[in-house]
């Protein structure tokens, strides 16, 4: 009789703790609680524990990721690296 294959050890858990979410996003626990209060992250109560669905973390990043900086900011950054100033940049 064949046994069912066990889940891989690298499989992502369905939920993470607040600290785990903070570590994954590179922020503090307070920031995670603010995101929860703002409705940016959902929670799953498991007994006395507060868990966050793992899928919510990449979804949050995707919603808030920028597609790049605008040309004006890019030119200002280049000028700052050159040690110069930019008076006016057309967008």
Q: Which of 23, 27, 16 is nearest to 56 (CA)?
A: 16
The predicted pLDDT at position 80 comes to: 81
Instruction: State the Cα–Cα distance between residues 80 and 25, nearest whole angstrom.
Output: 29
Whole-angstrom CA distances from 85 to 63, 73, 74, 78 are: 33, 12, 13, 9
Burial of 53 (0-12, 13-18, 19+ CB in 10 A): middle
pTM over the 0.85 mark = no
- Do the Cβ atoms of 47 and 66 come closer than 8 Å? no
pLDDT digits (tens, 9 = 90+) for 23-75: 999 999 999 999 999 999 999 999 999 999 999 999 999 988 876 667 777 77
């Amino acid at each position: 009789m064949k046994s069912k294959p066990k889940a891989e050890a690298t499989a992502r858990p369905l939920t993470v703790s607040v600290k785990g979410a903070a570590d994954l996003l590179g922020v503090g626990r307070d920031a995670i609680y603010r995101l929860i209060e703002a409705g940016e992250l959902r929670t799953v109560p498991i007994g006395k524990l507060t868990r966050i669905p793992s899928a919510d973390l990449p979804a949050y990043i995707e919603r808030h990721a920028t597609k790049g900086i605008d040309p004006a900011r890019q030119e200002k950054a280049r000028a700052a690296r050159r040690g110069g100033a930019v008076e006016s940049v057309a967008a």
